[in-house]
Every structure is written in C-alpha cells, then in structure tokens.
Amino acid sequence: MEHTWLEIDLSALRYNLRQIKRGLNGKAGILAVVKDNAYGHGIIRISQALVEEKIDYLGISDVSEGRELRAVGINSPILNLGLISQKEEVEEVVNLNISQTVCTKRISCLLDKEAKKRNKRIKVHLKIDTGMGRLGAFVSEATELTEHICKLKNMELEGIFTHFPDAADKKFTLSQIKGFNAFLQKLTKQGINFTYQHSANSLAFLGLSKSWFNLIRSGLILYGVYPQASLRKKIELKPVLSWKTKVAYIKDIPKGWSVGYGRTYTAQRKERIAILPVGYGDGYFYRLSNKGRILIKGKFFPVVGSVCMDTVMVRIDKDIKIGDEVVIIGRQKAQQIKVEELAKLSQTIPYEVVCRLSQLPHRFIDKLNKL
C-alpha cells in the first residue's frame, strides 16, 4: 500500500491551458513545457491530455523524455530544449523525429549527417543568448551559424528563440527583446525566416505581451502555480497537483517531552502527536521543521520537531485518528496549502518543490469534458 501519493487533476490542467489560450486570443501558439517529468506531474499523462487539447508543441529537456512520449503514441511536435552531445543522442533525435535546439556548428553538422543517412530532414530551433548566460549562441556569432545551418540540405531551420533570466526585470527583458528583434529583422532582410519565434516563459506571457512573438513557452502556470503572487490578478489558475498521506501513528506526550532529532521542539503541556509516513526522503523539505503545516479533516495542524527522512510529526487534537487522510499540498474542505507556501517557507522556488516529488506514486483524475 502506498504510504504517500500525488493526485494529479488533469481537469485543472485542461482548465489552465484554456485560460492561457484565452489570454493569447489567437495571437500566439503554445509550447507546453513538460520537461523533468512535467515538473513532477507525470510526463506521459500530462502530455496526452495536452495533445487532446490540441497543443502546438511539447518541450522536453532530454532525449529520453522524447522516447517515452513517442513510445506511447504521441506524434505531436516535440522540441528538445536541452543539449545533445553524444552520437547516440543525435541518432535518437533523428530517429524519433524530435526537433532539436542547436547553438553550435558541431551539433548541426552531426544532425545533418545522421538525417542524410536516414534520408530525412530534421527540424531545429536556433537558440540565441541575449542575456541568460547559459545555452545559446551570442548574436555576434549567430549570423554565421544561421547561414551555416541554412546550407545543410537535411536540416530545416524551423524556429529561433531566446531565454529570459529574470522576466520580472522588465527593463532588462525589454532590452533582450529589442536585441532579439533586431537580429530577426537582420535575418529577414537576408531572406531567412522561421516558422516559430519564441521567447516568453510563463512570467513573460503574463507581464510582457511584446515577448510573445508567435509561440510562448508555458511551464509553471500550466500546472496551476504562480511564478509571482501578484500574477493572481492577471489569470485564474487551478492547482493540478495535490500531495497526500495518512496518519500512521498517534501518541500522547507529557509536558516537557521533546520531539524528534535535535530536540528542537518541547511540549509546553500534555500534547497529542501524529506521525506521518513522509519525510525529506519523499521530498518534504527539512527547512519545514517547526514551520510547516498540514491539513486533516479540513483543519490546519503544525509540524513539530525536525523533519526526518521518513517521518514528520504533527501536533493534533483529539478528533484525529489513525488512517485519517492528510493533505500536504492541496485543498481539504474550505482550506488549502499551496506549492507557493511550501516554497516560501523552504526558502526555495515553486519549481523545486514540485520537481522533488517526481518519483512519488501518481493518481490521475480527469473530470473536465474534453474539447
């Protein structure tokens, strides 16, 4: 029996996607970022639901993810946003008909050679570094690279994109957009055009319409998580992920009795403690020791003592019983614990919270009528 599990509401996913589409109002397509197991939500079922909703593109970060999606019959366009460096990866990209991010001549030549061998044309998206300082060719070297790719007979330069390091910094982001636009205009004058131009992540989609071009890369908001609290006013989203467990053990402790490693919590009076079968080994942050809270029967209860590898201790009342369902993330009756709350208390970002849960058992729910 599973001691803890995730519930993934595909109805909420569909709702969020439709909200994004409404916001775009037909002005751009959507590349749904499903990398890293769909931010911990389960890449196969998430991608299948998105394909049913007629998503334009799926974005992955590793060839193995593309293999998984193709193996279950997903034939939609897939862009590998990550690097490839090994011959085996090049072969698989071509074999699986995955579009590939390129930012070097070496990779473009390897892809072209492999595509020629298989009598195929491989689609690629050129990545430009306008300020991220990570992957991508600098604008100063990108013209030569673009011209080089255009000469390769088994390669189709389908897309071009850039990446924002901080879309909340509008001044810097607008400077990136300006540089990216200038480069696109230069290529257009040379007769080089792209089917897709993209730069906007979730935050930029909601804050800077100039960043949309004709495709946005939607990640965190697809899963109902806000990159910034202020964005709640701009779009209504539904959390896709809930994290649950059950009360495994209950004990009454006397006043002055300590709880957990390091004796970081001591009972101020006679107290009832519930032990939950989850811990930092399951993805519950150690930083939530004596800070976190959970839901049982629609009521909040505090985490007490240090979070252990496999257990968390919670101070409860007399109404709680062994076997009662516990919500760690999600809604119970009128109350809710959000991913953003755990991220703030753990001094991290929402992305890390959900990605840490990737290996937990997933249970999928889908009640929303399909289009």
Does residue 370 belong to any structural domain of this protein? no
Res. 306: pLDDT tops 70: yes
Work out the number of other CB atoms within 10 angstroms of the CB of residue 184: 17
Mean pLDDT of 207-216: 95
Q: Looking at residue 213, what DSSP letter applies?
A: T
CATH code for the domain of 277: 2.40.37.10
**Confidence (pLDDT) at 367:** 81
Q: Give the structural domain span for 260.
A: 241-337
- Whether residue 325 sits in one domain with residue 177: no
- Whether residue 246 sits in one domain with residue 220: no
Res. 130: pLDDT tops 70: yes
**Confidence (pLDDT) at 85:** 87
**For residues 208 and 167, is the Cβ–Cβ distance under 8 A?**
yes
Q: Please write the tens of the pLDDT for every residue from 273-285.
A: 999 999 999 999 9
**Both structure tokens of 62:** 């590793």
- Whether residue 258 sits in one domain with residue 208: no
**Confidence (pLDDT) at 229:** 86
Does residue 320 belong to any structural domain of this protein? yes
Does residue 369 belong to any structural domain of this protein? no
Please give the helix or strand (H or E) that residue 254 lies within, else none: none
**Confidence (pLDDT) at 368:** 65
- Whether residue 95 sits in one domain with residue 156: yes
Q: Please write the tens of the pLDDT for every residue from 163-173.
A: 999 999 999 99
CA gap 204, 167 in Å, rounded = 5
Does residue 349 belong to any structural domain of this protein? no
- Whether residue 216 sits in one domain with residue 188: yes
**Where is the domain boundary, 162, 195, 225?**
225
- Whether residue 255 sits in one domain with residue 331: yes
Q: Please write the tens of the pLDDT for every residue from 244-274.
A: 999 999 999 999 999 999 999 999 999 999 9
Res. 241: pLDDT tops 50: yes
Among residues 261, 270, 286, 370, which one is catalytic?
Answer: 261
The sign of the CA dihedral 269, 271, 275, 279 is negative
- Average predicted confidence (pLDDT) for the chain: 96
Q: Directed axis angle between helix 105-117 and helix 87-95, to 10°?
A: 50
Count of domains for the chain: 2
Work out the number of other CB atoms within 10 angstroms of the CB of residue 371: 9
**Residue 233 amino acid letter:** K
Does residue 182 belong to any structural domain of this protein? yes
- Whether residue 314 sits in one domain with residue 261: yes
151 is annotated as an active-site residue:
no
**For residues 364 and 45, is the Cβ–Cβ distance under 8 A?**
yes
**Confidence (pLDDT) at 230:** 86
- Whether residue 259 sits in one domain with residue 189: no
- Whether residue 94 sits in one domain with residue 59: yes
pTM: predicted TM-score of the whole model, two decimal places: 0.95
**Both structure tokens of 343:** 């991220």
Q: Please write the tens of the pLDDT for every residue from 191-202.
A: 999 999 999 999
Among residues 35, 123, 244, 246, which one is catalytic?
Answer: 35
- Whether residue 170 sits in one domain with residue 82: yes
Does residue 97 belong to any structural domain of this protein? yes
- Whether residue 219 sits in one domain with residue 189: yes
CATH code for the domain of 32: 3.20.20.10
Does residue 348 belong to any structural domain of this protein? no
- Whether residue 277 sits in one domain with residue 208: no
Does residue 233 belong to any structural domain of this protein? no
Supply the DSSP string of 122-151, one letter for each residue: EEEEEEEESS--SSSEEHHHHHHHHHHHHH
